[in-house]
Amino acid sequence: MSSDVVRELTQILGPEKVVSDQHVIRLYAREPSGLEGHVKAVVFPESVEDASKVLRWAYHKEVYIYPQGSTTDLVGGAYPERPGIVVSTERMKKIKEVSVVDSIVVVEPGVRLWDLNVELARHGYMFPIDPGSVKVATVGGAVNTGAGGMRGARYGTMRDWVLGLTVVLADSEGSVLRLGCRTLKCRQGYDLVRLIVGSEGTLAFVAEAILKITPLPENVVVLLAFFPTLEDLVEAVIEVKKRAMDTLLMEFMDEDSARLAAETLGAEIKPDGHMLLMGVPVNKEASERVLGELVEIARRARARSIYTARSMAEAEDKKLLEIRRSLFATQAILTQRELKGRRAMMLMEDIAVPPSKLLEAVKALKELEREYGFKMVLGGHIGDGNLHPTISYPADDEEAKKRALEWYYKVMELAIDLGGTVSAEHGIGTLKKRALEMELRRHGSLKALELMRGIKKVFDPKGILNPGKVV
Ligand SMILES: Cc1cc2nc3c(=O)[nH]c(=O)nc-3n(C[C@H](O)[C@H](O)[C@H](O)COP(=O)(O)OP(=O)(O)OC[C@H]3O[C@@H](n4cnc5c(N)ncnc54)[C@H](O)[C@@H]3O)c2cc1C
């Protein structure tokens, strides 16, 4: 069966776009949390037409299809849970057009967000969605998870930045649809573009995107401060908000996590409290004044130590952002240390609560850490209430797995209790399906799941696109 699949795909696409070597395709079966699935072959379309041929073939042969970018979504979204074909966007990475006059960029799905921003910076522009994984995350992956990132409090998520999509359907024709517009304002009946954003590869293959772009701020001043208590840190956050300061970055890490991250990075900065990282866009003339104001706010809130930068370049030079960026790596190192080489599974949460409930949420998370006995790394995007508590457990310990999953759901329940949500930006994938149901049930809106399943059937009548995910 597998050899038939490879032979047929090779006939359709040519041998250079199909890989079936077991050693290679296994790499496409895994994701960083430790989940591993089954791949029959990996195909590398180079155009919309290639993608259309693959989806048409898959429809007629009833073969499962898994669109894949860099496989970093952490919720089991891109891994092939059931045997099927991975459609990798690795060879669709052209930036086809940059138009600063129209404020858009037209890109293929395999373009990495970092590379996009390197190109846009040459024009004085940026694409503001910057997940921690920005150096590898692809446009296709970010569109499909509805990604956010460190600038989320100011710029929102992918939903706010996708104007148009070229998508391929898993139907008898492998139909190609061009949805949305090149203009900033656009009404085309029901908003199918935003339906596909965040659909996690379950509705269509995204073959091209028209994204909105924005000018780079003239300057950004940065402050990194460490506070003795969470209350002090939150006081500083509230003061910044009250003064209507327009923050670009507002990031948080708890004391233990910041210390561990700094240790493992070998950073010169020595965290001595709960960490708050803030960046405020300013014009050059206002830089000193705004930075002074940030320092004053941090001091009044009893910050123990304060580091500043007059520009983003200086902040990068002084490595002010590195500790926060290494949240996931810190958990990985902690895991290696604690599990001493045993295979580990990692559970990274992605809850969001209204920012006014952050203090309550962090305290409750600390309680859960004590109750369940897993060492938790905790950080997140405090500006928009998005927290990423993360734990790991030995993959071969069934009892630990049971307790870890219990913790996972307790954390999500907590988010719902506080008026928040179980997933802010990583998506539902396989790991959060039950949690999505829990959240909708709590809102008395379980019927929404039926609607979602109906929509899935309309787009993908045979259920072959990324099966078993989301709904
Ligand atoms: C260290 C680390 C930090 C992170 N920080 C953040 C963060 O700050 N904010 C955030 O939002 N996320 C974060 N993430 C999660 C993740 O990196 C992002 O969601 C990212 O945008 C996923 O991109 P990807 O290319 O890896 O997508 P993948 O993981 O490959 O795919 C994600 C989903 O999209 C689907 N998909 C991919 N390409 C296509 C396509 N062309 N057509 C249809 N479906 C497709 C897949 O099937 C899957 O369901 C982080 C992850 C890590 C490991």
- Minimum mean pLDDT range among 98-107, 339-348, 437-446: 339-348
Could you tell me if residue 287 is inside a domain? yes
2 pLDDT more than 80: no
Contact criterion met (CB below 8 Å) for 382 and 252: yes
Question: Do 232 and 173 have their domain in common?
Answer: no
Residue closest by Cα to atom 6 of ligand 1: 131
Are residue 346 and residue 304 in the same domain, yes or no?
Answer: no
Total count of domains within the chain = 4
Residues 81 and 9 in one domain: yes
- Whether 110 and 205 map to the same domain: the answer is yes
Residue 464 lies in a domain: no
C-alpha of residue 94 to centroid of ligand 1, in Å: 19
Two structure tokens written together for 258: 């910041």
Tell me: the pLDDT tens digits for 378-397? 999 999 999 999 998 998 99
pLDDT tens digits, 153-209: 899 999 999 999 999 999 999 999 999 999 999 999 999 999 999 999 999 999 999
Inside any domain, residue 445: no
Same-domain pairing of 72 and 23: yes
54 & 105 share domain: no
Please tell me the distance between residue 377's alpha carbon and the centre of ligand 1 in angstroms.
21
Of 215, 235, 268, the last residue of a domain is 215
Is there a single domain that holds both residue 152 and residue 123? yes
User: 32 lies in a domain?
Assistant: yes
339 and 401, same domain (yes or no): yes
Which two three-digit tokens encode residue 16?
């250079």
Instruction: Determine the Cα–Cα distance for residues 145 and 213; give it in Å rounded to an integer.
Output: 19
Q: Is 71 in the pocket of ligand 1 (CB under 6 A)?
A: yes
Q: Please report which confidence band the pLDDT of residue 1 belongs to, taking 50, 70 and 90 as the band edges.
A: low
Same domain, 182 and 263: no
Judgement on whether residues 99 and 193 belong to the same structural domain of the protein = yes
Kindly state if the Cβ of 68 falls inside 6 Å of ligand 1. yes
Write the CATH number for 81.
3.30.43.10
Instruction: Count the alpha carbons within 13 Å of 152 in the hemisphere toward its beta carbon.
Output: 23
Q: Are residues 315 and 223 in the same domain?
A: yes
SS3 56: helix
Q: Which domain covers residue 145, as residue numbers?
A: 95-215
CATH code: domain of residue 231: 3.30.70.2190
Cβ of 89 below 6 Å from ligand 1: yes
For the Cβ of 423 lying below 6 angstroms from any atom of ligand 1, the answer is no
Helix (H, G, I), strand (E, B) or coil at 254: coil
CATH code of the domain containing 187: 3.30.465.10
- C-beta of residue 262 within 8 angstroms of C-beta of residue 270: yes
Task: Assess if residue 116 is contained within a domain.
Answer: yes
Determine the atom of ligand 1 nearest the C-alpha atom of 141: 27
CB atoms within 10 A of CB 234: 22
Mean pLDDT rounded to a whole number for the chain? 94
CA separation, residue 402 to residues 9, 168, 175, 309, 406 (Å)? 40, 39, 43, 45, 6
- If residue 349 lies in a helix (H) or strand (E), which one and from where to where? none
Q: How far apart are CA 55 and CA 64, in angstroms?
A: 10
Distance separating alpha carbons of residues 367 and 467, to the nearest angstrom = 36
Do the Cβ atoms of 348 and 328 come closer than 8 Å?
yes
Query: Is residue 332, in this structure, part of any structural domain at all?
Result: yes
- pLDDT above 70 as % of the chain: 100
Structure tokens at 172: 């008898």
How would DSSP label each residue in 173-214?
T--EEEEE-SSSS---SS-HHHHHTT-TTSS-EEEEEEEE-E
Q: What is the DSSP letter of 216?
A: P
Domain contains 439? no
Spatial CA neighbour of 13 closest among 41, 61, 46, 60: 46
In this prediction, residue 121 carries a pLDDT of 96
Q: Which of 38, 64, 90 is the last residue of a domain?
A: 90
Longest dimension (CA), the chain: 69
Is the CB of 349 inside a 6 Å radius of any atom of ligand 1? Answer: no
Q: Is position 469 within any domain?
A: no
Same domain, 81 and 101: no
Q: Are strands 162-168 and 84-88 parallel, antiparallel or unpaired?
A: unpaired
Please, are residues 407 and 398 in contact by the beta-carbon 8 Å criterion?
Answer: no
Question: What count of residues does the chain have?
Answer: 471
Per residue in 409-431, pLDDT (tens digit) is 999 999 999 999 999 998 999 88
300-to-181, 195, 234, 245, 303 alpha-carbon distances in Å: 48, 45, 12, 16, 7
Q: Produce one character per residue of 102-135: b if its CB has 16 or more CB atoms within 10 Å, e if not.
A: bbbbbbbbbbbbebbbebbeeeebbbbbbbbbbe
Of ligand 1's atoms, which has the minimum distance to the CA of residue 425? Answer: 11
The tens digit of pLDDT for each residue in 42-100 reads: 999 999 999 999 999 999 999 999 999 999 988 888 999 999 999 999 999 999 999 99
Last residue of a domain, one of 286, 302, 325: 325
Q: To test the ligand 1 pocket, which listed residue (72, 89, 92) has its Cβ within 8 A of the most ligand atoms?
A: 72
From the CB of residue 265, how many other CB atoms can be counted at a distance below 10 Å?
17
